[in-house]
């Protein structure tokens, strides 16, 4: 007897069912995510946009000047005195970046001989980091201090100390522009809960340029900073700073006199006064009177460094 599966009426039903499934638009398979065929009405994914601050902040630190400058949109806003690393533990000049701010930090002794007997210090008045620390590369931090008399000296173990009020102001200048935690009432919260650490991850890194510049030109004046780390290059820096004054002869005797002036403190001198120090050669076309030396302005040793 012939099988019922080969009955003509049953075969007709199979053919009709096949035509129905192949012709239905709802039942046709859509291309898969791994298919080479484009998806209908597909749109390219938008590229991630890197977060940018509304006002760019940059810090510049000149080690011999023990001075930290705050720039906002390339405009100098404020300068702060700091303590830098002592000669045995110098602060390395290089480009750094602040990535995080920690309010009321713990002090954890580093893995170094000078701290081998030290113990962890909780947040509070006796903490060596003061009220806040700003995290940078290579273990270098900008932070407050419980030793304000060290400010302006080469006195730290490579980190950069600030007075607590200055560190608080600087940290907030950065946080309010580079994080979403910009409510001013947070500062009161950090201060009320002095024993509680608060961590703020910045949305972008803040660049910090650390330099070793012994000579700074400010208009018609020179700032001669003490050579805190005993490095060379002073005569070369003088030559570069005075390129527009070829009448000034920068010889060994002249450099020796300027070195004596800046020993242990920053000396400020007008360029026109350099002629009275034996460092000038009067060109024929210039007036023979280059000025007589006046009173030199010097910063106190406690404010801008020690020998």
Say if residue 20's pLDDT is above 90. Answer: no
Q: pLDDT exceeding 90 applies to what percent of the chain?
A: 66
The answer, yes or no, to whether residue 25 has pLDDT greater than 60, is: no
Which residues, at least 6 apart from 81, have a Cβ–Cβ distance to it below 8 Å? Answer: 66, 67, 68, 151, 152, 162, 163, 166, 303, 304
For residue range 119-137, list pLDDT tens digits in order: 899 999 899 999 999 999 9
Q: Is the pLDDT of residue 263 over 60?
A: yes
Q: Can you give the pLDDT at residue 41?
A: 46
The per-residue pLDDT for 167 is: 98
For residue range 29-73, what is the model confidence (pLDDT) as tens digits?
333 333 333 444 445 555 666 888 889 999 999 999 999 999 999
What are the CA-CA distances from residue 301 to residues 9, 163, 171, 179, 201 (Å)? 111, 17, 27, 37, 37
Domains and their CATH numbers in the chain: 57-111+119-211 (2.40.440.10), 215-304 (no CATH)
Percent of the chain scored above 70 by pLDDT?
74
pLDDT band at residue 292 using 50, 70 and 90 as cut-offs: very low
How far CA 14 is from CA of 5, 6, 21, 24, 26, in Å, comes to 10, 11, 11, 16, 20
Tens digit of each residue's pLDDT (9 = 90 or more) over 68-102: 999 999 999 999 999 999 999 999 999 999 999 99
For residue 302, pLDDT beyond 90: no
234 in the Ramachandran plot: left (φ > 0), alpha (ψ -120 to 50) or beta? alpha
Average pLDDT over residues 102-119: 90
User: Residue 26: what pLDDT?
Assistant: 43
Give me the pLDDT at residue 50, please: 81
For residue 234, give both structure tokens: 């002073």
Alpha-carbon distance 302 to 163, whole Å? 13
Quote the pLDDT of residue 61. Answer: 98
pLDDT the model gives residue 9: 60
Looking at the whole model, is its pTM more than 0.85? no
* Integer Cα distance of 157 and 84 in angstroms: 8
Q: What is the mean pLDDT of the chain?
A: 82
Q: Which of 24-28, 44-48, 153-157, 206-210 is predicted least confidently?
A: 24-28
């Amino acid at each position: 007897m012939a099988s019922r599966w080969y009955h003509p009426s049953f075969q007709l039903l199979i053919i009709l069912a096949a035509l129905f499934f192949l012709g239905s638009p709802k039942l046709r398979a859509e291309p898969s995510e791994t298919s080479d065929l484009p998806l209908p009405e597909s749109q390219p994914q938008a590229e991630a946009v890197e977060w940018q601050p509304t006002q760019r902040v940059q810090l510049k630190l000149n080690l011999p000047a023990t001075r930290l400058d705050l720039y906002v949109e390339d405009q100098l806003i404020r300068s702060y005195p700091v303590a830098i690393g002592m000669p045995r533990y110098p602060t390395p000049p290089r480009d750094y970046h602040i990535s995080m701010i920690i309010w009321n930090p713990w002090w954890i002794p580093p893995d170094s001989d000078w701290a081998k007997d030290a113990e962890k210090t909780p947040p509070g008045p006796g903490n060596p980091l003061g009220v806040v620390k700003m995290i940078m590369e290579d273990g270098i931090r900008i932070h407050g201090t419980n030793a304000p008399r060290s400010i302006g000296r080469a006195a730290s173990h490579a980190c950069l100390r600030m007075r607590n009020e200055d560190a608080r102001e600087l940290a907030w200048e950065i946080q309010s522009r580079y994080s979403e935690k910009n409510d001013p009432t947070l500062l009161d919260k950090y201060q009320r809960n002095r024993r509680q650490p608060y961590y703020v991850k910045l949305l972008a890194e803040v660049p910090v340029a650390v330099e070793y510049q012994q000579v700074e030109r400010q208009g018609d004046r020179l700032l001669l900073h003490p050579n805190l780390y005993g490095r060379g290059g002073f005569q070369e820096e003088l030559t570069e700073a005075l390129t527009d004054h070829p009448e000034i002869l920068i010889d060994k005797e002249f450099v020796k006199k300027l070195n004596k002036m800046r020993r242990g403190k920053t000396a400020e001198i007008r360029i026109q006064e350099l002629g009275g120090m034996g460092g000038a050669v009067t060109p024929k076309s210039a007036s023979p009177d280059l000025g007589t030396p006046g009173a030199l302005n010097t910063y106190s040793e406690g404010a801008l460094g020690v020998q």
